[in-house]
């Protein structure tokens, strides 16, 4: 059975397609081979070019490094040549210096010979040997030195005399503190006497309205107790207390006591007190001869009229200090006007110390600065209680005058027996400590000076002893102001020429 015609055609077609595919495949393979060869040649060419470029770069770098090495070698050679030249120059200088040294040695020998000949000729001319001439020269120098020393001693003695005169004035001012004068302690008690006890009820008023009005208008406290026919006026401000006392006396005399009358009486009393303050201040400046004070300072001085300290009127005390300081200044040849001014103002701080915080010394100095007082006056105010060391004669005089006027028996409310017991107690406390030789209470008990045994207490221990004494005094004694504790230690060597 033969193959069908259709199938034969398909077989032929398939063979033709297969043959065509083989040819096409061969063609593609040939083309790929050609492309691969071309790419290979191209890559080889690029590799050769890259290799050539790297070689050129390497050659260039090698050449540059070789050139740099050559340059460094030339610089090193140049430096070696320079060093050789310098070494040669130094050798030449060394040779020159050796030659010069030999020349100098020869010249020194020549000079020594000439000097020896000159000394020999001078000895022949003067008739003295070298040693004798030197001794004569030393004597001349000694005479000149003694003359200069004598001149210096004279200058030192002159300076010592000037300082001694100044120190002597201080010593005289200190010794004047021992002077005593008669003085009666002033007693000021704000007590208003009543005509009868019925007046107490009228002062109190219905439901206490009168006494409240009076206390509110004056700023004081009225104490109405069982004391017959008396009312006590209490206030820390002496001016307020005086205004209340005057107003109360006016109301008692008038007999009409009610809030309106109380306010009128207080106003009148306040004007009276202001007038008294002004008048007292002017009288004080007139009595002491202190002029040119600021009006506000005069008012503050007048306020001291109502201020007391341990029963002593502060204004009278200030006037007395002013006059004492002036008299002592006149005796010592110091500025009398300045001393009086400082004495009058030394306690000015007490006029407002109940209103301003701080001690009356600090307050007084600030007030004086405020009204542009003399710096010596301000210093005297600061130093009159020993808060600072007195640096001027005026300050020492004010300190002495203040001690005379206040810090002694009779000036303040303290009897002689109490005063003496206080001084004895002060010395007794000091003497109770080991190492204390003697003690002296001075300045009316405001200072105690203690002599220390130098072989028992050294300089360092003195500070501790002083602190212990101060603690004992503070805990065991009652005293006004402050007490200065001064310890003195000295070592003496004594011998006798026989």
CATH number reported for the structural domain that contains residue 279 in this entry: 3.30.1370.10
CATH number of the domain encompassing residue 438: 3.30.70.1350
Per the domain annotation, does 173 fall within a domain?
Answer: no
Domain presence at residue 79: no
Indicate if 436 and 476 belong to the same structural domain.
Answer: yes
423-475 residue pLDDT tens? 888 899 999 998 898 898 887 677 899 999 888 888 878 888 888 899 999 88
Residue 175 has pLDDT above 50, yes or no: no
pLDDT, greater one: 416 or 207: 207
Q: Tell me the average pLDDT across 273-278.
A: 88
Residues 266, 214 contacting (CB under 8 angstroms): yes
Which domain range does residue 431 map to? Answer: 418-489
Q: What does the alpha-carbon distance between residue 160 and residue 171 come to, in Å, rounded to a whole number?
A: 16
388 and 312 housed in the same domain: yes
**Residue 417 pLDDT:** 61
- Local structure of 374: helix, strand or coil: coil
Q: Percent of the chain at pLDDT above 90?
A: 2
- pTM for this structure? 0.48
Domain CATH for 313? 1.10.3210.10
Of 342, 487, 343, which is closest to residue 406 (Cα–Cα)? 343
Q: How far apart are CA 4 and CA 11, in angstroms?
A: 11
Say yes or no: 434 and 405 in one domain.
Answer: no
Predicted confidence (pLDDT) per residue in 85-135, tens digit: 888 899 888 899 988 888 888 888 888 888 888 877 777 776 777 677 777
More confident residue, 204 or 279: 279
Residue where one domain finishes, among candidates 391, 413, 435 = 413
Say how many domains are in the chain.
Answer: 3
Q: Is 88 part of any domain?
A: no
- Residues 194 and 269 grouped into a single domain: yes
Indicate if 301 and 376 belong to the same structural domain. yes
Question: Is 303 found in the same domain as 266?
Answer: no
- CA dist 270 and 220 (Å) reads 13
- Stretch 382-391: mean pLDDT, rounded? 84
Confidence of residue 180 (pLDDT cuts 50, 70, 90): very low
Statement to judge: residues 305 and 399 lie in one domain: yes
Q: How far apart are CA 203 and CA 211, in angstroms?
A: 6
């Amino acid at each position: 059975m033969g193959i069908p015609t259709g199938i034969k055609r398909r077989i032929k077609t398939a063979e033709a397609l297969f043959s065509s595919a083989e040819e096409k495949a061969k063609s593609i393979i040939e083309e790929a081979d050609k492309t691969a060869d071309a790419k290979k040649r191209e890559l080889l060419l690029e590799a050769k070019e890259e290799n050539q470029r790297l070689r050129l770069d390497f050659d260039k770098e090698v050449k540059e490094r070789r050139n740099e090495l050559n340059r460094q070698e030339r610089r090193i050679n140049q430096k070696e040549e320079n060093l050789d030249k310098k070494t040669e120059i130094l050798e030449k200088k060394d040779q020159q210096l050796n030659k010069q040294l030999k020349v100098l040695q020869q010249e020194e020998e020549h000079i020594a010979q000439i000097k020896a000949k000159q000394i020999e000729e001078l000895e022949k001319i003067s008739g003295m040997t070298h040693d004798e001439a030197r001794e004569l020269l030393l004597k001349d120098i000694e005479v000149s030195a003694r003359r200069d020393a004598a001149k210096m001693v004279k200058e030192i003695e002159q300076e010592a005399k000037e300082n001694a005169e100044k120190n002597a004035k201080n010593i005289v001012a200190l010794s004047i503190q021992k002077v005593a004068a008669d003085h009666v302690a002033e007693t000021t008690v704000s007590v208003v006497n009543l005509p009868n006890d019925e007046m107490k009820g009228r002062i109190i008023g219905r439901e206490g309205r009168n006494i409240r009005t009076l206390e509110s208008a004056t700023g004081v406290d009225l104490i109405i107790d069982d004391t017959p026919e008396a009312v006590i006026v209490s206030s820390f401000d002496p001016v307020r207390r005086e205004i209340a006392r005057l107003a109360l006396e006016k109301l008692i005399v008038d007999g009409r006591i009610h809030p309106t009358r109380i306010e009128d009486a207080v106003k009148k009393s306040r004007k009276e007190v202001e007038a008294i303050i002004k008048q007292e201040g002017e009288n004080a400046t007139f009595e002491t001869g202190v002029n040119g004070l600021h009006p506000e300072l005069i008012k503050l001085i007048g306020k001291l009229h109502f201020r007391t300290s341990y029963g002593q009127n502060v204004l009278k005390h200030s006037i007395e200090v002013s006059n004492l300081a002036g008299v002592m200044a006149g005796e010592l040849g110091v500025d009398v006007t300045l001393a009086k001014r400082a004495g009058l103002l030394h306690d000015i701080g007490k006029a407002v110390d109940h209103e301003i915080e701080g001690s009356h010394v600090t307050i007084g100095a600030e007030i004086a600065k405020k009204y542009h007082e003399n710096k010596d006056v301000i210093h005297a105010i600061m130093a009159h209680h020993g808060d600072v060391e007195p640096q001027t004669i005026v300050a020492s005089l004010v300190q002495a005058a203040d001690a005379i006027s206040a810090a002694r028996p009779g000036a303040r409310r303290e009897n002689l027996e109490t005063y003496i017991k206080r001084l004895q107690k002060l010395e007794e406390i000091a003497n109770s400590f080991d190492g204390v030789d003697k003690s002296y209470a001075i300045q009316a008990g405001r200072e105690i000076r203690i002599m220390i045994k130098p072989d028992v207490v050294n300089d360092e221990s003195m500070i501790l002893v002083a602190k212990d004494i101060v603690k004992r005094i503070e805990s065991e004694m009652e005293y006004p102001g402050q007490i200065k504790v001064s310890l003195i230690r000295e070592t003496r060597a004594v011998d006798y020429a026989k």
